[in-house]
Each structure stands twice: as structure tokens, then as C-alpha cells.
């Protein structure tokens, strides 16, 4: 965190700051606002601007299987409180205290109102229960792309159980968790990746593969894994905590400041991949501003951007995504969705 000194405040005489008329006007307006809020609460109405946004926005969309998906997808880490905050451990608690169940449902509603029609996350039981409540209690229509965290083993029994539960809950797409994708390729178990992809397809939903390492996508393409889409990390390294060349010793490293070790190689390889690509960790967990992150991802081949957002960030991020997409006239990788 960088702390800068605030500019010196200019002092004014007390009489010029507020007069009696302004004070009375402000007091009356505040009283009226409190009265309206109290009346709304008494009638069971929400007073949250996030839950009842004033205007409907839109985003361009692309196809993943049968799904029509907004180019900007709501990420789930902030909603599940699984934040990547490097050594700032208090951020986990902060996110949990802010994103209560009610706030999560308000965030989902705001995302929908702004044109984001899909959320993607892993499957902790409580956050999934909030997604269910949002559909049942609020009539939410936002689509789910979920990665089960059940182990991917030879008999696939635990993984199958979770996939079946998620599909029954209403998940429209399933993908293999990137943590598992990386580990299975490192163990040369492409067969298990293939079985996970085919298992989800048995339930009639789109099925994808997640990865931090580009080696996962390379292996899936080489061995003909019939994934419907990839969800792969993608961001540049031009930020203060970005890795230095000498720190990158493997296709995927545990260096704590980045999640895409070889962005140029990723962009180049993905040119040959015909499947839709959802780019995630595009802001390197908050280190890269969204305007810069979205431009880099879309210009360099991503079909969709998955971004974790608090409710107060959504409208601006949608504006930036629309602005970025509107300025892209040519890409080295053609749109695959």
C-alpha cells in the first residue's frame, strides 16, 4: 500500500462554510431522506441503490456452446471471500465483512442491471447457497460457470457427485479448476482432464478447462481434449510487483506477485486455438488498473474477461469494457466466440 500525504486544506472563515438557510435546507432534505428510507423499510422495500439500479446497461456477448455470455464476466473470488491480497492478510476479513449474503445478492443484481449476464466461481457450499437464494428469492437470471473443487481421481466418484449437484442447482457450465489442471498436467494425467471434461458433458452443460500454466492448454490441444472453452490467466508484467525475467524459471511459478508467467507466449499460442478463451486474473489481483488490463486482454486475443468486482466497481468496469471493445478494430487472434 502506498500512502501519500494529503494536500494542505485551505481554511475558510466559518461563516462562509455554511449559513443558516443552507443548514436548514440540508437538515430538511436529510429528514425527508430518512423518512423515505424508514417508509421503504416498513413496506419491506430495499433502499439499496445497488439492488435497484436506475438504468439498464448492456455489454457485447459471445457464444460458449449454447450460452450467450457477456464479454465481461463477474468473478467470484470477492464473493467467496477468497481474495488474492499477497501479504495483506486483513483483506480476507475485510472482504468477508463487506460482502455479506445480502451484499452479494445486491452485487449480482447490479451486475445483471449493468449487462453482465454470467458469474464464475468455485463451489464453497455457502456462496453456492447464496446463488441459489438469489435465483429463488430475487428472480435472478445470471448464469453460472462453476469449477468443482472435489478431487479428480481415477474413479471420478467425488467429482461426479459435485458436478451432479451443481447441475441440479442450475449451473449452466462446468470447468476443471485451474489448480487441478496445472497439477494433472505436471503429473502427465491428461486422461483425467479428459474424463473430467467428458463427465460434465454427460449432464448436458458446456464443459471447459481452467489453467494458470499454458502447458495445460498445450496438452489439451495436443491430445485432443474436447473442451468447449478454456479459462486461462492472462496479464502483462508491467506493474511494480511484476516478475523480473530472472524470476521466471518455469511455465508456472509460485511467485506471489503474478499468475500468468508467460503472457507473450500465451497470446501467441492462443492464436491457433479455436475454442473460446476466458481470461482471468487480468488485473494480477488488483495490481493493474482495469482499463489497462481489459485493453491488454482483449487486444491480445481473449474472448471474455473474468473480473472480480465489488458492487461499487461494476458500473465503471462495464463502462471501461464497453469503451475498450468499441475501440478494437483488429486483433491478431480473431474472435472465437
- Domains in the chain (CATH in brackets) are 68-327 (3.20.20.100)
pLDDT in tens, 156-208: 999 999 999 999 999 999 999 999 999 999 999 999 999 999 999 999 999 99
Question: Phi and psi at residue 209, in whole multiples of 5°?
Answer: -130, 130
CB 176 within 8 A of CB 197: yes
Q: Which residues contact 281 (CB under 8 A, 6 or more apart)?
A: 84, 212, 233, 234, 235, 259, 260
DSSP 54-93: SS-----EEEETTEEEESEEEESHHHHT----TT-THHHH
**Which candidate, 72, 67, 77, places its Cα nearest to that of 104?**
77
165 vs 157: CA distance, rounded Å: 12
pLDDT in tens, 232-284: 999 999 998 888 777 776 555 555 556 898 999 999 999 999 999 999 999 99
- pLDDT greater at residue 84 or residue 80: 80
CB 74 within 8 A of CB 111: yes
Residue range 209-224: mean pLDDT, rounded: 97
User: Integer distance in angstroms from the first to the last C-alpha of the chain?
Assistant: 38
Alpha helices in 227-289 (DSSP H): 263-270
pLDDT in tens, 310-330: 999 999 999 999 999 999 988
Percentage above 90 pLDDT, the chain: 68
- What pLDDT shows up at residue 27? 37
Q: Which residues contact 211 (CB under 8 A, 6 or more apart)?
A: 178, 181, 182, 185, 217, 230, 231, 232, 233
- What pLDDT shows up at residue 164? 98
- What pLDDT shows up at residue 285? 86
Residue range 330-337: mean pLDDT, rounded: 94
Q: Which residues contact 175 (CB under 8 A, 6 or more apart)?
A: 145, 146, 147, 200, 207, 208, 209, 210, 227, 229, 231
pLDDT in tens, 90-105: 888 898 899 999 999 9
Among 4-13, 83-92, 124-133, 152-161, which is the least confidently predicted range? 4-13
216 vs 193: CA distance, rounded Å: 9
Convert 110-130 to b/e letters by CB count within 10 Å (16 or more is b). Answer: bbbbbbbbbbbbbbeeebbeb
Percentage above 70 pLDDT, the chain: 80
- What pLDDT shows up at residue 81? 77
* Mean predicted lDDT score pLDDT of the chain: 84
Q: Which three cell numbers stand for residue 331?
A: 486483433
pTM: predicted TM-score of the whole model, two decimal places: 0.82
Q: Around Cβ 22, how many Cβ atoms within 10 Å? A: 10
Q: Which residues contact 240 (CB under 8 A, 6 or more apart)?
A: 287
Residue range 295-320: mean pLDDT, rounded: 97
**Which candidate, 162, 173, 248, 174, places its Cα nearest to that of 213?**
248
- What pLDDT shows up at residue 83? 78
Amino acid at each position: 500500500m502506498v500512502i501519500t500525504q494529503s494536500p494542505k486544506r485551505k481554511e475558510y472563515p466559518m461563516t462562509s462554510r455554511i449559513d443558516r438557510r443552507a443548514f436548514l435546507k440540508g437538515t430538511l432534505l436529510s429528514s425527508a431522506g430518512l423518512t423515505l428510507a424508514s417508509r421503504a423499510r416498513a413496506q419491506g422495500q430495499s433502499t439499496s441503490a445497488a439492488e435497484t439500479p436506475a438504468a439498464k446497461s448492456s455489454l457485447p456477448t459471445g457464444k460458449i456452446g449454447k450460452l450467450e455470455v457477456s464479454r465481461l464476466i463477474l468473478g467470484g473470488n470477492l464473493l467467496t471471500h477468497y481474495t488474492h491480497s499477497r501479504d495483506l492478510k486483513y483483506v480476507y476479513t475485510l472482504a468477508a465483512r463487506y460482502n455479506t449474503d445480502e451484499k452479494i445478492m445486491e452485487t449480482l443484481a447490479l451486475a445483471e442491471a449493468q449487462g453482465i449476464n454470467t458469474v464464475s466461481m468455485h463451489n464453497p457450499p455457502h456462496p453456492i447457497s447464496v446463488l441459489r437464494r438469489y435465483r429463488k428469492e430475487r428472480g435472478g437470471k445470471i448464469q453460472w460457470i462453476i469449477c468443482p473443487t472435489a478431487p479428480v481421481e481415477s474413479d471420478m466418484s467425488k467429482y461426479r457427485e459435485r458436478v451432479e449437484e451443481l447441475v441440479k442447482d442450475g449451473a449452466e457450465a462446468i470447468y476443471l479448476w485451474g489448480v487441478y489442471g496445472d497439477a494433472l498436467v505436471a503429473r502427465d494425467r491428461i486422461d483425467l482432464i479428459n474424463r473430467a471434461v467428458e463427465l460434465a458433458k454427460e449432464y448436458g452443460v458446456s464443459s471447459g478447462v481452467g489453467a494458470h500454466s499454458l502447458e495445460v492448454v498445450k496438452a489439451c490441444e495436443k491430445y485432443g481434449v474436447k473442451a468447449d472453452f478454456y479459462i486461462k490467466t492472462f496479464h502483462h508484467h508491467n506493474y511494480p510487483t511484476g516478475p523480473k525475467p530472472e524470476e521466471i524459471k518455469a511455465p508456472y511459478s509460485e511467485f506471489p506477485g503474478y499468475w500468468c508467467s508467460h503472457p507473450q507466449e500465451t497470446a501467441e499460442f492462443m492464436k491457433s486455438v479455436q475454442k473460446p478463451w476466458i481470461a482471468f486474473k487480468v488485473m494480477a489481483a488488483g495490481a493493474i488498473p482495469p482499463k489497462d488490463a481489459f485493453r491488454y486482454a482483449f487486444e491480445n486475443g481473449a474472448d471474455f474477461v473474468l473480473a472480480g468486482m465489488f458492487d461499487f466497481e461494476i458500473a465503471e468496469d462495464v463502462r471501461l469494457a464497453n469503451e475498450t471493445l468499441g475501440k478494437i478494430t483488429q486483433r491478431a487472434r480473431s474472435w472465437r466466440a
